[in-house]
Chain A
Amino acid sequence: MTAEQNVLSLTNIHKAFGGVVAIQDFSLNLKAGEVVALVGDNGAGKSTLIKIVSGVYTPTSGSIELDGEETSFSDASSARSKGIEVVYQDLALADQQPVFMNMFLGRELTKPPFGLLDKDRMRRESQELVDELDVRIPSASSTISQLSGGQRQGIAIARATHWASKLILLDEPTAALGVAETARVEGLIENLKKKNLAILIISHSLDQVFRLSDRICVLRRGQQIGIRETAKTDKNEIVSMITGVA
C-alpha cells in the first residue's frame, strides 16, 4: 500500500566515476505532493543524484522505482516521457535560440498539413507561461543570451513546471535569483506541491529548505547521513549533519 504511494523510490543507489565514489548506498522514498530537500556541502553528490534520477547518469548499482515499477532510464528523454522534469544547476538552455524554442526544446509544436514548426503557437504559449509565472523577460522571442542569469533561471523553471506531470527535480533553482524572484519561485514550488507533484529540491539555503520542505535529506561526501522531518528538526541539527561536527 505505502509502496504504491511512492512516486519515486530509490534503493541502495551507488555511483562511481572511475575510481571516485560520488554516491554511496543512497535510499529515499518520495510521495506525491511531498517536497524533499537534499542538502550537503559542495561536492557532496547532490547534483549527481539528481542526474541519476533524470537518466543522465546510470547508477553503478541500486534500483529506481517509479510508481512502484522498477525503471532504468537509458537517457534523459525516457525520464522526461515519464513525467519527470529537471531544472539543472548548469541550466541546459540553448543560448543562441529564442526563449520559445527553448521552452519547447525537443518537443517542438508542428502544424498540419506539412508538419512544419508552429512558431506562432510556441511563441504565444511561451508568453502565456512566462506571464503566468511572472518571469519578466522582454518577450518570448528574446534570445536567451540577452537575458540575465535570473531570467534564464526563470525560463528553465517555467519549462520544467510546464512539462512535469509527476516529479520535478530542482538543482539550486534560486541560486542566481534576487529576493523577490526567490520568493516567486518558492511560491511556484508550493503551487506544484498543491498540484500533487513530488518535488526534490537541492538548496544551500537552510532558511529556504525549512520554509519549503517536508523532509530534509543530508548528504556528506557521497554518504547519506540521514533523513529528518522538517517539523521535527532544527537548523543546528542539520548543520551538524552536513558538516559532521557535533
Chain B
Amino acid sequence: MTRVTSRLNGLDFQQAVVYFGFLAIFLFFAVTLYDDGFLTQRNLTNIVLQTAPATIMAVGLVFALSAGEIDLSFGSIVAVSALSCAVILQDYPLPFGVAVGLGVGMGIGAFNGVLIAYLKLPSFLVTLATMGLFAGIARSMTNLRSIPVMNDTFTGIFGSGKLFSVPSLVIWTVIGVAVGHLIYRHTRFGAHVLATGDNPRAAQVSGIKVPRVRLYVMMICGGCAGLAGLLYAGRLQAAKYTLGESDLMTVIAAVIVGGTALNGGKGSVIGALLGSLLMGMLNNGLILMNLKVSDQMIVRGLIILVAVALSLRDSNR
C-alpha cells in the first residue's frame, strides 16, 4: 500500500512531461506524416536504431548529472573511441578493437574524473576544455580521414546484425538501459550517486567516498560514450572525427526532459530512454516533413527549449 502511494508520488510533474511529450509528438507525427510513412514499422524501427548511440550516452549522462556533475566532452569521446577502435581493427582481431574503444572512453572519463574529484575543478569547465581537446585529437589522429571498418563480426555485433531477428542496436539499447537502471536504482553505488549530487556534505559525513563517486560517474559517462562510438562505427562501417559531434544538445535535452535534475540528486534512466526516443522521433519527423536543414535546426531548438522549460518548471522555484 505505501509502496503504491510512493510510486504515485514519484510520478511527479517533471516525470510526466516526458510521457505526455512523447505521446503528443508521436500522435502529431502519426497524423500529419501518415502518408509519408512515419507509422511504418520500418520507420519506427529506424528511429530506435538511429537513437541507440544517443540513448547509451544519455544513460551515462544520467549518472554524471545525478552526482551533481556534468559532462560536455562525451561527443568528443565518441569520436576518439570510434577512431581508436577502427584503427585497431585494421590490424588486430575484434576483442582488441572493442577493448581499446571502451578503454579509451573510460580512460578519458577517468581523466575528467580525476581533475573533477581530486583537483576539485568544476566539471563544467573541465569537460568544456576536454571537449575541445579531444575533438582536436580526433581530428589529428587520422588527419581528418575516415577509417573504414571491414570486420564483419564487428559490424554485425555493433551495427547491422540481428539476434533472433532483433536488431543488435535494439539489444544494445535494452541492455544499456536495463543495466543502467539496475545500478542507478537498486545498488548502493546508485544511492551514493544520488546522495552525492543531492548534498555532498551530508554524503561525506555519512561515510560516502564522495570523490570516488565523482570519479566513477565520469568514467561511466566516458565508458558509455565509448560504447556509443562503437555503435556508430558498427552501423556506419566507418569511423570519422565528426561522430558524436552533433549529439551534445540532443543528449542533454533527452536526459533533462527525461526527468533528471541538472543540479543533481534526482533522475531517471528510463526517462532518459524516453527522452532520447522523443528526440529521435523529432529528428525523424522533421526530416520526413522535408524541412530544410536550417529550418530543422530552428524547429528542433525551439521544441527542445519548450520541453526543457516544461520539465524544469517546478524545480526552478
Contact = CB atoms under 8 A, between A and B. Distances in A.
B194 A77 contact: no
A96 B191 contact: no
Nearest to B263: A96
B186 A94 contact: no
A75 B202 CA distance: 13
Interface stretch (A64-72, A85-93, A182-190): A85-93
Nearest to B207: A77
A108 B205 contact: no
B187 A116 contact: yes
A97 B205 contact: no
A208 interface: no
Given A116-B186, A123-B2, A54 B205 contact: yes
Interface string A109-126: 010000111010001000
Contacts, number: 90
A105 B208 contact: yes
Interface string B195-229: 10011011111111000000000000000000000
A interface secondary structure, majority: loop
Contact of A92 (B2, B188, B202, B261): B202
Interface string A19-56: 00000000000000000000000000000000000101
B interface secondary structure, majority: helix
Contacts of B201: 90, 92
B235 interface: no
A76 interface: yes
Interface residues of B, number: 28
Given A105-B195, A115-B187, A94 B5 contact: no
Contacts of B9: 141-143
A110 to B, nearest CB: 6
A76 B204 CA distance: 7
Contact of B187 (A54, A92, A101, A117): A117
Contact of A56 (B185, B194, B205, B261): B205
A24 B27 CA distance: 70
B199 A117 contact: no
Contacts of A97: 191, 194-195, 198, 265
Nearest to B1: A139
B266 interface: yes
A95 B265 contact: yes
Nearest to B261: A96
A216 to B, nearest CB: 27
A94 to B, nearest CB: 4
B187 A94 contact: no
Interface string A132-153: 0000000111110000000000
